[in-house]
Amino acid sequence: MTTSPIKSVLIVDDSRVARILIRNIILSIHPHWIITEAVNGKEAIERVRVETPNYVTMDYNMPDINGIEAAQQILQYAPRTIIALFTANVQANTHAQAEKLGIGFVDKPVTVERINQALAYFDSRS
Amino acid sequence: MTLHISDIQKNALIEIFNIGVGQAANSLSQIVGEVITPSVPTIAILHSDDQADAISTITRKPRICAVSQDFTGGFDARAFLIFPEGKTREIVRRMLGESVSADELSKMEQEALCEIGNIILNSCSSALSDILHISFHSSIPAYHLGFADEILFAHSANNDDLLILCHIDFSIPSARSDGYLVFLLSPPSFNMLTRQVEQFLLGID
């Protein structure tokens, strides 16, 4: 049995329910990973400065600044952060913005399949 | 303001909403973990005088639980995902799974419904966006519980607002509940939408 290295994930979502779902599914797959949470884009920007997580799951539709804007700011000072946008907003232009920024794109709702998709993306970029 | 929609435009709108509703149903199916078969949407364009009666017909109950989001962009609309009052607990329970206690479930019900509304309303608007080649910005979802007419028209700035009633029967067997989608548009927004539908029809002609 191989043991995967412990990684840290910052979950950014204004919905507590979405955060719980993402956290529970990640921990069911990687019980030893370190999970932290931010409830909006601004908090995420601050947390990445302090915690330097390996991976970030980023909601799109949040108060103040959206997930794309938050990811943009994070990548300016922490360009090695691997970010996947989690969103129900699957409009082509949102997809294009994520692609331009070089971040992953995962459709909501949060399911085991979608989390696996995000984890595969994180793994491919590590 | 004169409002008119031709039969072909109405047919196109039904087809566009049908695709949007299909995506929304797919999202809801993933949330509750069971097959959701939506009915073909029926679209009615209602003026203010007819709206109160229409709401009772839609929901079959005077009190509803709703999540709303404002969409701005290609056209502006307030969209509602509606469930009859008292029919949402099972949907939320299925979303959160068995690990959440009844007490926690009760505390998180509103937030969970907002997340469900966000996913479903965005699924639908994303389909409209892709088909009509327009983009939308969506607001943060808001939760409402109360009488249908008060909720739907509480923030309507103009009594002339139209109700584009996209009535779908989101039948959820385990929850013994139906869900409904309603879009509220002002007359200028309605005209923007019909222009975009016209462009869509020219594109497929």
Q: pLDDT digit string (tens) for B103-139? A: 888 888 899 999 999 988 988 888 888 888 888 899 9
Parallel, antiparallel or unpaired: strands B63-73 and B142-147: antiparallel
**Minimal Cβ distance to B130: which of A18, A88, A91:** A91
The residue with greater pLDDT, B164 or B192, is: B192
Binary contact (B27, A108; C-beta < 8 A):
yes
With cut-offs at 50, 70 and 90, classify the pLDDT of residue A72.
Answer: very high
Is some CB atom of chain B closer than 8 A to the CB atom of A34? no
Residue ranges per structural domain of chain A:
8-125
**Minimal Cβ distance to B135: which of A15, A61, A93:** A93
Residues in chain A with CB shorter than 8 Å from the CB of B134 are none
Binary contact (B119, A108; C-beta < 8 A):
yes
According to DSSP, the residues that pair with B73 across neighbouring strands are B136
Dihedral of alpha carbons B86, B21, B11, A92, sign: positive
Q: Tens of pLDDT along B168-191?
A: 666 777 766 777 888 888 878 888
Q: Across residues A59-87, what is the average pLDDT? A: 94
CATH number for the domain running over B7-204:
3.40.1550.10
Residues in chain B with CB shorter than 8 Å from the CB of A90 are 23, 122-123, 126
Please tell me the number of Cα atoms within 13 Å of B192 on its side-chain side: 12
* Residue B54 clears pLDDT 80, i.e. is over it: no
Domain A8-125 has CATH 1.10.3210.10: no
Which of B154, B163, B156 is CA-nearest to residue B181? B163
> Is the CB of residue B141 less than 8 Å from the CB of residue B67?
yes
Q: What percent of chain B lies above the pLDDT cut of 70?
A: 78
Dist CA A82 CA A122 (whole Å): 6
Binary contact (A15, B108; C-beta < 8 A):
no
Q: What per-residue confidence (pLDDT) applies to A74?
A: 97
Binary contact (A24, B126; C-beta < 8 A):
no
Dist CA B9 CA B14 (whole Å): 9
Residues in chain A with CB shorter than 8 Å from the CB of B95 are 17, 21, 109
Chain B neighbours among A 37-96 (CB < 8 Å)? Answer: 61-63, 87-93
Burial class (CB in 10 A: 0-12, 13-18, 19+), B182: buried
Please give the structure tokens belonging to residue A90: 């699957």
Residue ranges per structural domain of chain B:
7-204
Q: What percent of chain B lies above the pLDDT cut of 90?
A: 10
Which of A42-51, A85-94, B193-202 is modeled with the greatest confidence? A42-51
Q: What per-residue confidence (pLDDT) applies to A1?
A: 47
Q: Tens of pLDDT along B16-39?
A: 877 787 788 788 888 888 877 676
The residue with greater pLDDT, A46 or A16, is: A46
Residues in chain B with CB shorter than 8 Å from the CB of A109 are 27, 30-31, 95, 119
**How many other C-beta atoms lie within 10 A of the C-beta of residue A98?**
22
Distance from CA of B118 to the nearest CA of A (A): 7
- Residue A107 CA: distances (Å) to CA of A98, A115, B63, B136, B141: 12, 10, 32, 17, 18
Dist CA B29 CA A5 (whole Å): 34
Distinct helix (H) and strand (E) counts, chain B? 6, 9
Q: What ipTM was reported for this prediction?
A: 0.70
Q: Tens of pLDDT along A112-123?
A: 999 999 999 999
Q: What per-residue confidence (pLDDT) applies to B171?
A: 72
Q: What per-residue confidence (pLDDT) applies to B96?
A: 83
Q: What per-residue confidence (pLDDT) applies to B139?
A: 93
Q: What per-residue confidence (pLDDT) applies to B33?
A: 83
Residues in chain A with CB shorter than 8 Å from the CB of B112 are 17
Q: What is the mean pLDDT of chain A?
A: 92
Least confident interval from A36-50, B30-44, B155-169 = B155-169
Q: What is the mean pLDDT of chain B?
A: 79
Which of B15, B10, B20, B4 is CA-nearest to residue B128? B20
